[in-house]
Chain A
Amino acid sequence: MSGESATAEAQPATRPDWQVLDIDPETAEFPALARVGDDRILVLRIGDGFRGVERSCPHQQRSLHDAFLQGGNTMIRCRWHNYVFRLSDGKAVNCPGYKLKVFEVKREGTALLARPVN
């Protein structure tokens, strides 16, 4: 998965701390598996940036490792049943009631850092 545009950031009142991910952005193959605290996430490369999502679709817990990016890379679509979520805030697009955990991911030097958005 790759693309050009970045995602708009949701802005909660208080933001959790950034946490260093256990992957090397130089050598990792994206989408890459990583951990943020107790959360096991999938890190996507989007254009020059990154975004994290929970590893499984909340619909039927199918892996999102081979999901598609939609809508100019602002959404992710599970390949199993085409459920689509916004990467900005995890909100369900075509499957109301579901929510995908998404993570802000940034690079600092040789490290990738992440923190939950929702």
Chain B
Amino acid sequence: MKSSAVLLKGAHMIDPGRGIDGVQDVALENGKIRSLDGLPPDAEIIDLKGCYVTPGWIDIHVHIYGTLGFADPDSIGVCQGVTSYVEAGGPGIGTLDEFLALLEGQTKTTLYAGPYIRPLGILSLNFIESDVRTLTNIPITQWIDFHKAHPGLLRYVKVGAFSGYGYGPTKIGKGLAEILELPLYAHIGEHQLQPGHDSAYEIYRVSEAGDIVTHVYHGNACGILDNDGKVLPVVQDAKNRGVLFDVGFGGYNFSWRVAERAWAQNFFPDIISSDLQQFNVAGPAYSLANVMTCFMKLGMSLKDAVEKVTSAPAKALRMTDIGGTLTPGLPADITVFRVDSGAFTLTDTTNHTRPYDKKIVPVMAFKNGERIDADLERCQDEKNWLIQVADDHEPEGMKRLTAAQKVFLGALAGKLAAIQWDEFSVQTLDYEKSLVLQDAFHQVQKEQSIPLRDALIAVFDLFLDHRFSMQVGLFLLRLDRAFALDRMRKVASTQRMVA
């Protein structure tokens, strides 16, 4: 019987966690990295001359769930050389069940969660994430129980470092992270939405060694620089005592101006992450590889750029026992890429550009030993990032609904008929109503004894051409009420006719 061993031959290995930077082969077998010694003679050989081979990239900040998420989560994962990623705040303790029902085991890319302190998770939809009222209650015991029941799933607790209520929410987040023995992961961007508040600076004070600040080079208010472009002492103090600084490129949060000024003062990132989401994948972020390239433009060596997406995040997320290096015995998570030469343009989130003559281009990834060839266009497909309510036609997903799902939708329409909600407004989010809708959904799901995943999919497939995974209460809130109830009743009636 032929062995399952594979030899990746001739590539330049960069494995910063083991201090390797030179041509070196790597072997894998049965889903694990293996020693080159004693390699079976019939091992498959893949010639990777001219390529680089590194530990599988870890993107600690992506959005595949929630109002920022993608229809095709692997398109920003293994298809782009990222073998593991962390959903940064999409779910909260009140929606982690929905998150798992929709996504657990559904991606080749290993998916971790960095839940938001708010029970519903990130709201986005352009709402300021600061309203302390949306924290509702913080169910500590529920957090502890969930964390214990899902060992290794949660990698940090995310908070938004802005508040109209002083520093309290920041400190609550830090307290929760301490209880769960997880790093605090603090978002310091988008203060342009809430001028006059300086709560970002409290993050630098409360964070301890190992906590992580993301969006370090954002160009909005409350940044890391003072008015003269100098790194603020409170920021430098945090770095000096071991607080980690993460890129989180995002849709608003990477500025060449800030990054270049910080760079000139030797203020470098500890981790590179993309913050890929619906609103930046078609530009300017594109991919983790593109964000790494931006840092090479700033002057970072290729070896350091690789370190910031391999051993550094593995160490920060306390997962060096399962990734971050090519140590024999670890899961065979491997990224292969080229560095192309040419005339390229790199754009920040303020639409400023820089020319560069190099570009990191993923070629393939191995996930637990399975080879996945890169497909950099897949994430760009409009169906992947443009969430569209099919309000003028019946989506294909409706045809896939089972009898049980149709009955569930009929019952849900009956429940929702007693609840009023207004046309969606960008001025105020009716947060309480989204909770009411979520609660109604879960009540009907339990009454109908339908699996949570089936119930969630029934709702998304009824209204969307392409299934996205997001908080069901928020999703219902964004639908026109009359239209939503009408379509639920209509599809339920077809089931009654069949019966």
Taking beta carbons and an 8 Å cutoff, which residues of A are in contact with B? 59, 68, 70-71, 77, 79-84, 93-98
Q: A59-B126, A81-B251 are in contact. Are A71 and B386 (CB under 8 A)?
A: yes
Contacts of A70 in B (CB 8 A): 382, 386
* Complexed CA–CA distance, A59 and B251 (Å): 13
Contact between chains at A95 and B282 (CB < 8 Å) = no
Contacts of A71 in B (CB 8 A): 382, 386
Q: How far apart are B32's CB and chain A's nearest CB, in angstroms?
A: 40
B311 adjacent to chain A (CB < 8 Å): no
Count chain A CB atoms within 10 A of each CB in B279, B280, B382 and give the residue with the most.
B279
7 residue pairs from A and B, CB less than 8 Å apart: A68-B282, A70-B382, A70-B386, A71-B386, A82-B279, A93-B388, A94-B388
* Complexed CA–CA distance, A71 and B126 (Å): 23
Contact between chains at B283 and A79 (CB < 8 Å) = yes
Residue count of chain B within 8 Å CB distance of chain A: 20
Interface of B is mostly: loop
Q: How far apart are B307's CB and chain A's nearest CB, in angstroms?
A: 31
* Complexed CA–CA distance, A98 and B427 (Å): 10
Give B261-311 interface residues, CB cut-off 8 Å to A: 278-280, 282-283
- Among A68, A79, A84, point to the contact of B351 (Cβ < 8 A): A79
- Among A68, A82, A95, point to the contact of B125 (Cβ < 8 A): A95
Q: A70-B382, A80-B351 are in contact. Are A96 and B283 (CB under 8 A)?
A: no
* Complexed CA–CA distance, A27 and B388 (Å): 37
Contact between chains at A97 and B426 (CB < 8 Å) = yes
* Complexed CA–CA distance, A81 and B285 (Å): 11
B137 adjacent to chain A (CB < 8 Å): no
- Among A82, A95, A98, point to the contact of B280 (Cβ < 8 A): A82
Q: Which residue of A lies closest to B429 (CB)?
A: A97
* Complexed CA–CA distance, A84 and B424 (Å): 16
- Among B278, B351, B478, point to the contact of A96 (Cβ < 8 A): B478
Q: Which residue of B lies closest to A93 (CB)?
A: B388
- Among A79, A81, A97, point to the contact of B425 (Cβ < 8 A): A97
Contact between chains at B278 and A82 (CB < 8 Å) = yes
Q: How far apart are B210's CB and chain A's nearest CB, in angstroms?
A: 32
Q: A81-B252, A82-B280, A93-B388 are in contact. Are A98 and B426 (CB under 8 A)?
A: yes
Contacts of A93 in B (CB 8 A): 386-388
Contact between chains at A97 and B125 (CB < 8 Å) = yes
* Complexed CA–CA distance, A71 and B425 (Å): 25
User: Ordered nearest first, which 3 A-B pairs have the shortest CB separation?
Assistant: A97-B426, A96-B424, A96-B478
Contacts of B279 in A (CB 8 A): 81-83, 94
Contact between chains at A95 and B386 (CB < 8 Å) = no
Contact between chains at B251 and A82 (CB < 8 Å) = yes
Q: How far apart are A62's CB and chain B's nearest CB, in angstroms?
A: 8
Interface string of B48-86 (1 = CB under 8 A from A): 000000000000000000000000000000000000000
Q: Which residue of A lies closest to B277 (CB)?
A: A82
* Complexed CA–CA distance, A97 and B127 (Å): 11
Contact between chains at B126 and A95 (CB < 8 Å) = yes
Q: How far apart are A97's CB and chain B's nearest CB, in angstroms?
A: 4
Contacts of A98 in B (CB 8 A): 426
Given contacts A59-B126, A77-B282, 13 further A-B contacts (CB under 8 A): A79-B351, A81-B280, A82-B279, A82-B283, A83-B279, A84-B386, A93-B386, A94-B278, A94-B279, A94-B387, A95-B126, A97-B126, A97-B427
Contacts of A96 in B (CB 8 A): 125, 424, 426, 478
- Among A80, A94, A97, point to the contact of B386 (Cβ < 8 A): A94
* Complexed CA–CA distance, A96 and B429 (Å): 11
Contacts of B251 in A (CB 8 A): 81-82
Interface string of B226-242 (1 = CB under 8 A from A): 00000000000000000
Contacts of A80 in B (CB 8 A): 351
Q: A71-B382, A79-B283 are in contact. Are A97 and B424 (CB under 8 A)?
A: yes
* Complexed CA–CA distance, A80 and B126 (Å): 14
Q: Which residue of A lies closest to B252 (CB)?
A: A81
* Complexed CA–CA distance, A94 and B425 (Å): 13
Q: How far apart are B256's CB and chain A's nearest CB, in angstroms?
A: 15
Interface string of B402-428 (1 = CB under 8 A from A): 000000000000000000000011110
* Complexed CA–CA distance, A74 and B96 (Å): 36
* Complexed CA–CA distance, A20 and B108 (Å): 56
Contacts of A79 in B (CB 8 A): 283, 351
Q: How far apart are A52's CB and chain B's nearest CB, in angstroms?
A: 22
* Complexed CA–CA distance, A93 and B388 (Å): 6
* Complexed CA–CA distance, A14 and B475 (Å): 33
Q: How far apart are A100's CB and chain B's nearest CB, in angstroms?
A: 13
Interface string of B425-447 (1 = CB under 8 A from A): 11100000000000000000000
* Complexed CA–CA distance, A78 and B388 (Å): 16
* Complexed CA–CA distance, A93 and B351 (Å): 22
Interface string of B345-385 (1 = CB under 8 A from A): 00000010000000000000000000000000000001001
